[in-house]
Amino acid sequence: MPIIEVNELSKIFGPEPRRAIARLDEGWSKEKLAAELGLTVGVNRATFAIESGEIFVIMGLSGSGKSTLVRLLNRLIEPTGGELRFGGEDVLAMNAKQLRRFRRARIGMVFQKFALFPHRTVLQNVEYGLEIQGVERVERRSRALEALELVGLKGWEHHLPAALSGGMQQRVGLARGLANDPDVLLMDEAFSALDPLIRKDMQDELLALQQKMKKTIVFITHDLDEALRIGDRIALMKDGSIVQVGTPEEILMQPANRYVERFVEDVD
């Protein structure tokens, strides 16, 4: 059953963005939109569904719209058009209070820049994420400790981030994303800043966590190998549009068009 359903979801940046959708239908290029109307295509009518419990990878070159799309999924930015459902609920119909509750209960986020506070301990960093969500003190502590244990950081609770390696710092980021026990974890280039070997460890770790916790994970990456390694399914983006959604095998063996073919042609 899909947990997230996205239909014709678009985000255009700039003045009077709705004008852009009709222009795109007329076949305007994104260069022409930018030059003549000062509009930037972030996401262009994305349509897909994410199944509960899968690792859904959004892949594409830098600037292809991945971060914009992932921010649309928890409505950190407002779409220019389209529909978004989460567990059957219309996210775009929620008021501010409902939206806060929805994010708190259902979504966790992990970023590329770990965004840890340098003067707070590992434990305090994870607790802080819960604090801004209004979780009370005792529960904060127990959930944070549990999340840190889950990512293998038991014993490191009272260290400062600087004492940890890059991989361990990202585990703190992961613990923070998991601490509220979300239905969906959104990870935007979470491993992209890590050294290749540590990155591979983190991929394994994430796959193991996934086996154990059965979370739905939306994983953004510009790296094809990473996408193929961890994705149950992959959506490939180009210039704001999704050009293909499929399993790694489908993407490799049945590329939808020449662009996908070229994207994957160096893989053996």
Indicate the residue among 37 and 243 with the shorter CB distance to Mg ion: 243
Could you give the CA distance from residue 57 to residue 234 in angstroms, rounded to a whole number?
A: 5
Contacts for 168 with CB less than 8 Å, ≥ 6 apart: 153, 156
* Neighbour count for residue 22 (Cβ, 10 Å): 9
Could you give the CA distance from residue 158 to residue 7 in angstroms, rounded to a whole number?
A: 45
Binders in 36-65 for ligand ADP, by CB under 6 A: 40, 42, 60, 62-65
Q: Is residue 243 near ligand ADP by the rule CB under 6 A?
A: no
Partner residues linked to 218 by β-bridges: 56, 186
Which of 40, 44, 64, 67 is in the footprint of Mg ion by CB under 5 A?
A: 67
Q: Pick one of Mg ion, ligand ADP, none as the site partner of residue 10 (Cβ within 5 to 8 A by kind).
A: none
Could you give the CA distance from residue 229 to residue 265 in angstroms, rounded to a whole number?
A: 16
The count of residues interacting with Mg ion (CB under 5 A) is: 2
Closest approach of Mg ion to the CB of residue 66, in Å: 5
Interacting stretch for Mg ion, rule CB under 5 A, among 10-18, 67-75, 100-108, 239-247?
Answer: 67-75
Contacts for 197 with CB less than 8 Å, ≥ 6 apart: none
The count of residues interacting with ligand ADP (CB under 6 A) is: 11
The contact pattern for ligand ADP, residues 68-107, with x = CB under 6 A and - = no contact, is x---------------------------------------
Q: Pick one of ligand ADP, Mg ion, none as the site partner of residue 241 (Cβ within 5 to 8 A by kind).
A: none
Q: Is residue 67 near ligand ADP by the rule CB under 6 A?
A: yes
Q: Extract the tokens encoding 181.
A: 């026990």
Q: Extract the tokens encoding 252.
A: 């490799």
Q: Is residue 170 near Mg ion by the rule CB under 5 A?
A: no
Q: Pick one of ligand ADP, Mg ion, none as the site partner of residue 221 (Cβ within 5 to 8 A by kind).
A: none
Could you give the CA distance from residue 15 to residue 257 in angstroms, rounded to a whole number?
A: 33
Q: Is residue 80 near Mg ion by the rule CB under 5 A?
A: no
Q: Pick one of ligand ADP, Mg ion, none as the site partner of residue 60 (Cβ within 5 to 8 A by kind).
A: ligand ADP
Could you give the CA distance from residue 161 to residue 171 in angstroms, rounded to a whole number?
A: 11
Residue 92 has what DSSP assignment?
G
Q: CA dist 61 to 228, 241, 263, Å?
A: 15, 12, 10
Query: What torsion, rounded to 10 degrees, do the Cα atoms 134, 140, 143, 149 define?
Result: 130
Indicate the residue among 156 and 263 with the shorter CB distance to ligand ADP: 263
Which candidate, 143, 187, 188, 198, places its Cα nearest to that of 165?
A: 198
Indicate the residue among 67 and 170 with the shorter CB distance to ligand ADP: 67
Q: Is residue 13 near ligand ADP by the rule CB under 6 A?
A: yes
Closest approach of ligand ADP to the CB of residue 45, in Å: 14
> Which residues make up the interface to ligand ADP (CB under 6 A)?
13, 40, 42, 60, 62-68
> Which residues make up the interface to Mg ion (CB under 5 A)?
66-67
